[in-house]
Amino acid sequence: MNRFKYSLQTILLILSVTILISCERKEATGSESSAQSSSDSYSERIDSLISVMTLEEKLGQLNLPSSGDIVTGQAQSSNIADKIREGGVGGLFNIQSAQKIRDVQRIAVEESRLGIPLIFGMDVIHGYKTLFPIPLGLSSSWDMELIENSARLAAVEASADGICWTFSPMTDISRDPRWGRVSEGNGEDPYLASQIARAMIHGYQGDDLSLDNTIMACVKHFALYGASEAGRDYNTVDMSRIRMFNEYMPPYKAAVDAGVGSVMTSFNEIDGIPASANKWLLDELLRQQWGFDGMVVTDYTAINEMIAHGIGDLQHVSALALQAGVDMDMVGEGFLSTLKASLEEGTIDEAMIDQACRRILEAKMKLGLFDDPYKYCDPQRAENQIYTSEHRQQAREAAAQTFVLLKNDDNILPLKKGGTIALIGPMADNAENMSGTWSVAGDFKSAVSLRSGIEQVAGDGVTILHARGANVVPDSLLESRVSIFGKPTYRDERSEEELIREAVAVARRSDVIVAAMGESSEMSGESSSRSDIEIPENQRALMRELLKTGKPVVMVLFTGRPLAMEWEQENIPSILNVWFAGSEAGLAIADVLFGDVNPSGKLSATFPRNVGQIPIYYNHKNTGRPLEEDKWFQKFRSNYLDVPNTPLYPFGYGLSYTTFEYSNLSVSNNVLTGDGEVTISVDVANTGEYDGKEVVQLYVRDVVGSVTRPLKELKGFRKVAIPAGESETVTFALSADDLRFYNYDLEFVTEPGEFQVFVGTSSAEGLEGSFTLE
């Protein structure tokens, strides 16, 4: 027996809604209507639905709890099931598998009063079951087609397993590698991060969000989360509006312009007001100025956390969040438990609740959940489209494009497929740590370790000797903090001396040493800030002893952030940065080590010489007392006593097994006027012995402005494949629009004057030209 009793009026209203939805479904089947007519259709359906919803049911749509991964068969009896039946849940996240999601969706659709479907989300950050490199690694490919394809395959797999909403991409600019979540972003540059945001969103959402293999994206964390003080996660953010708009906001704006379906608020405050209660941020800027019309969701318990920020109790901060423009409350249930009281007290009005509810219902309609609530729950798709050999091959190929060759003295790399290799280090044989942070749906044990990858790629002609050599860190307590989430570090309880002695004995029997060093997977990521970003001392002690053997040493660097590696740069002959490369990491690394793939990655974040240089980034401004170029030290100039101003590795840096020579820079016009364009071209020759790919980078400097301007800004790039001995002319076009910036009054303007251009292999090296904007 149905537990609800309806009045005749309610029954008639529900019937009218059902008939309307049915009619709209039939019309949609053969419709060639415009986006505006679709929007009108959504509005009519939502109006009809909201008219029969109780206050409690509206508040339920604003509620996004985490159920955990419900065990099959548990859905009916779980506490969350009762809330769903009562209309108290709008969506869930962290459930995996199409069957489990179907079971939970059935409760919402068939056992709640109005049958409103749930939306199911998950942190699908760099792949679903098939894992690609961490986002910082992907950004180092500088390959937008590759990045978009990684998101496309993630959407195919996630949607096949019941997921229709991902909390990605993260577009937070960060210039502080102490911050652990730098691993989840796209580096320090707003232009590059904006291009990546567009690519990721199109990969997830495609051209039609109603298809069953696309999912709704969620740009995060809005806003400025990557600028937390001291690199400490969740910490205070405080910056000028001019910096905010020119350097940190562009990637979020690019995501909105790309049609992202949802936005997630950040944990930090902005101008003294936490983001989730910041009406200027969420309403005036996001909705009114940028025209965003999707839904806004908080980060995990962000509303509740505003209590600790000191701006009120749960009822007060929940009302502030609703008033600011938040639509959905993740986990905290502040909306669910307090907004009714705020409504009765007159702090908020029901129109605010209706507006938030409307946006959530519209997102569900755009996803097609009202037409088919089970569209993402096809077990056949789950069986045939997840973790396929084709997807894994694409992940392997993609990973190899993200590795950055930092040093290669005497051309130690690529290795020959012959002789004896000593594979040494704490990351040499650890499959679970290959995937990287925020890989929640992955099967870590099935990932390919470096040892396995080398054995498979090298073939029978190579003998592999293995020794651990060192633990990840010397401190067992610290190691326990990062040996989590199914990614054990397998600490060896032998003494440091014993581990090194064994490794050195192995190394002496080899022709070349491959040292797998750096961080473990969870040393970066959320709540993984580090005050010391050097290679752990026990690993460095091991490398000192390996170098004493006289054998060539290649360091394979695993990291989720830029590290301070001045000792390694000075002493180790060859360094290959492989980030955390995903499911097929070991194979992809081996492909590059043995030269089957020529490395072509370029850094998307600057590597400092030491932690004292932080924040360090290429697109900084000048001072009134700048240090002369290529000088150090000068008294009464802007420099350090104990270290040069220059980074260890600059933004855009990355070597290849071949060499590239730039020549014949040409600027088509000395003067850029009106709606015209200036064309910048350069010849790039592959002067080495290997076919290779080069990322040709265009930087611009606005020499004189009404406000101070950066020394350089990235304005274009092209990744080109050039066979050995051949050359290619690479061309860029700039218009006045490409030179716009926010002035003191936050107007987005161009200003006439001289512009210098730099084209080269990194932000620190290139050919120069100029033109004038009239």
Q: Would you please indicate which residues are annotated as catalytic (active-site) residues? A: 299
**Residue whose entry in the numeric block shows the structure tokens 């989590």:** 484
CA distance linking residue 341 with residue 118, whole number of Å: 25
> What number of other Cβ atoms are within 10 A of residue 486's Cβ?
15
The torsion angles phi and psi of 447, rounded to 5 degrees, stand at -65, 155
CA distance linking residue 556 with residue 558, whole number of Å: 7
Q: Cα 193–196–197 angle (5° rounding)?
A: 85
Could you tell me if 152 and 207 are in contact, meaning their C-beta atoms sit under 8 angstroms apart? no
**Residue whose entry in the numeric block shows the structure tokens 């010489």:** 609
What is the residue-wise DSSP string for 56-101? HHHHHHTEE-B---PPTT-TTTSHHHHHHHTT--SEEES--SHHHH
Write out the E strands in 115-178.
119-122, 165-166
Give the Å distances, CA to CA, from 206 to 147, 254, 436.
13, 16, 26
CA distance linking residue 603 with residue 597, whole number of Å: 18
Could you tell me if 678 and 669 are in contact, meaning their C-beta atoms sit under 8 angstroms apart? yes
Write out the E strands in 69-163.
91-93, 119-122
Could you tell me if 613 and 669 are in contact, meaning their C-beta atoms sit under 8 angstroms apart? no
- DSSP character at residue 549: T
Measured distance between the N- and C-terminal CA atoms of the chain, rounded to whole angstroms: 77
Look up residue 624 and give its two tokens.
């009134």
Containing 520, the helix (H) or strand (E) segment is none
120: left (phi over 0), alpha (psi -120 to 50) or beta: beta
* Residues near 694 by beta carbon (within 8 Å), at least 6 away in sequence: 600, 656, 660, 684, 686, 719, 720, 722, 761
Please name every residue paired with 405 in a beta bridge, in sequence order, or none if there are none.
Answer: 576, 655
Angle between helix 35-50 and 350-366 (nearest 10): 130
Three-class SS of residue 49? helix
CA distance linking residue 338 with residue 315, whole number of Å: 5
CA distance linking residue 78 with residue 73, whole number of Å: 10
User: What is the arrangement of strands in the sheet containing 727-735, beginning at the earlier edge strand?
Assistant: 660-667, 677-686, 727-735
Give the distance, in angstroms, between the CA of residue 218 and the centroid of all CA atoms in the same chain.
Answer: 11
Containing 666, the helix (H) or strand (E) segment is strand 660-667
User: What is the arrangement of strands in the sheet containing 574-577, beginning at the earlier edge strand?
Assistant: 404-408, 574-577, 553-558, 512-518, 419-424, 462-467
Amino acid (1-letter code) at residue 194: S
